[in-house]
Copies of this chain bind each other. A is one copy, B any other.
């Protein structure tokens, strides 16, 4: 089914204990689109880049069946740029540079073909842009999934809560869930976030896996234990892209399907972290994905 993706398409420069990059393709919607295109046939991207952007990447998205009619390319302007440095534990990072550039004035224009999508993935962006996107749809989607981060809690909490009230699924990391809810216990935090609107809450714990909460049900999916985590950038976006991409491919929105969707998301995220930026994800084949899903099944399967 059709999946509308909105989020940043940008440049990153990353430093980890294993090395560093120059400017490479990054941005939430880049990872989401790559992940989703491995699972779902019909994906549409709404984003903005500057004239400096690497258009080969857009061509690659098109080859994968991602419709980029909604991608605005701003003449004479520069793409969003983020630079960060990861610490040895790979769980914490310092932001070195943030240049908003085209993202500072982003007005999300939805192509006519994409005003009635079945599924919507609101990648991490300003709550105002996320809200505008929802308001410009002409029909209520089957499922709206939203990702966000602590940055927006710090500077735009009222707007953030306004969007959260309108979505079905919120994906958020453990520290952010605690910040948003004011509760340390993740189980209590999830319940308070439910009360803000979303019927489903996914708490991402990085290398410690992810929790899916819906009503009183909880499902846990681990991260695949890897030999080495090379670059965690985009893992959360890839996870979200795999999650919503799987659901869109099945047309389902029930809890059982969401559990399987989380396994797909975790599986794709495990590829993402193996190389810098989008490199590993762009190389994933269906065979490699199937192998890794089998590894996941063995990782969590027990005798009845």
Q: A298-B217, A302-B300 are in contact. Are A185 and B222 (CB under 8 A)?
A: no
Q: Chain A, interface size: which category? A: 20 to 34
Specify how many copies of this chain sit in the oligomer: 2
Give Cα A228 to B299, complex, Å. 27
Task: Report A214-266 residues with CB < 8 Å from chain B CB.
Answer: 217-220, 222, 225-229, 256-257, 259-260, 263
> What does the 1/0 interface line of A176-189 toward B look like (CB < 8 Å)?
00000000111110
Q: Are B185 and A227 in contact (CB under 8 A)?
A: yes
Interface membership of A208, Cβ < 8 A: yes
A interface with B by C-beta (< 8 Å):
88-89, 184-188, 205, 208-209, 211, 217-220, 222, 225-229, 256-257, 259-260, 263, 298-303
19 example contacts (A-B, Cβ-Cβ < 8 A) are as follows A89-B184, A185-B226, A185-B227, A185-B229, A188-B228, A208-B209, A211-B225, A217-B298, A218-B225, A219-B298, A219-B301, A219-B302, A220-B225, A220-B299, A220-B300, A257-B303, A259-B301, A300-B300, A300-B302
Give Cα A236 to B102, complex, Å. 51
Shortest Cβ gap from A214 to chain B (Å):
12
Chain B residues near A205 (CB-CB < 8 A):
208
Which among A220, A298, A299, A301 has the greatest number of chain B C-beta atoms within 10 A? A220
